Amino acid sequence: MEKKRTGGGTLTVILIGVAVGYFVLAWPYHLGAWLAVQLGAGLPSPQRSVLAWAFEVLYVLVLAAVGARRLWLRSRRAQDPPPPFDEDAADRVLAMIDGATGSWADPRVPDDERVRAVLNDVRLVEPRREGGATVPAVVGTTGVLLLTDRAARFHGSEGRTRVWRWDEVTRVTDVVDHVKIAVSSRTTESGVMFLRELDAAGRTAIRWSVRSAQGAGPDELGQIGQGLRDTARSAREQVAAEPEPPRPLSRRTIGTAVAAVVLAALLSTGAVAVWIGAAPPAPSAVAAAEVVQTG
């Protein structure tokens, strides 16, 4: 018994849904047919059918236009934005490479060192034991990385510090999300993680500083800097090629569209009204008039 009730309820819901869907789609047709009859068209007449279909076509065109715009907006939002890139940080690193900024003293570094570049929002990465294995892990919160003529010095917001002297660096490894720096004075490799938009500039700054301190030639140092320049140019081109975000329709545009639809409906109604007035009366109406006159 319960199953029959459930089946009957489902069928009722389906029928109601079909009826509502039909009304949503077909109400302009019935409105046009009713209006044609009020203007004098016969129930089975071409004038009634023409006005009914005119209203329905206008309605379908409006629905199609609204749906097409929604799909277009959704496709624009679905496009992947270009990866974030901090041009200011890249410019600072390139200025360091080109020697345009020079160096300066800083109370956070020894007196015999000079700062060449400062990178903010940097996180310290150190090896930690997890599940019987040693894995790199972010330690503490963000801090600042000072690149001097002799070392890279990390100063965390929690007071945590780490130093990598250039003359002790044995290897720099680019990992997916951070840079590992191996030094001869420590057995474990630690490193730093940059924000995504600072990643290219930070990696370039460390690699150039290490190779510069190790006496690399101008060609190699120039190639390191050129890599960052190419990345910056590619980022600018992607931003320039990115389409502008769609703007909402103005009130004027919406008003014009509504006025056009209303005008089309009025013109259709007027044309059908003229057609009805110019059409000869139906045979049944003529016979009825002759009967009245004869009587």
Residue 157: pLDDT band with limits 50, 70, 90: confident
Q: What is the SS3 assignment for the chain? A: CHHHHHHHHHHHHHHHHHHHHHHHHHHHHHHHHHHHHHCCCCCCCHHHHHHHHHHHHHHHHHHHHHHHHHHHHHHHHHCCCCCCCCHHHHHHHHHHHHCCCCCECCCCCCCCCCEEEEEEEEEEEEEEEECCEEEEEEEEEEEEEEEECCEEEEEECCCCEEEEEHHHEEEEEECCCCEEEEECCCCCCEEEECCHHHHHHHHHHHHHHHHHHCCCCHHHHHHHHHHHHHHHHHHHHHHHHCCCCCCCCCHHHHHHHHHHHHHHHHHHHHHHHHHHHHCCCCHHHHHHHHHHHHC
Predicted confidence band of residue 77 (pLDDT cuts 50, 70, 90): low
Least confident segment among 25-39, 76-90, 279-293: 279-293
Please give the model's pTM, rounded to 2 decimal places: 0.61
pLDDT per position as a tens digit, 92-111: 999 999 988 788 999 999 99
Q: What domains lie within the chain, and their CATH numbers?
A: 2-79+247-278 (no CATH), 87-241 (2.30.29.30)
- The residue among 286 and 89 whose pLDDT is bigger is 89
Give tens-digit pLDDT for 180-222.
999 999 988 999 999 999 999 999 999 999 999 999 999 999 9
Report pLDDT for 207. 95
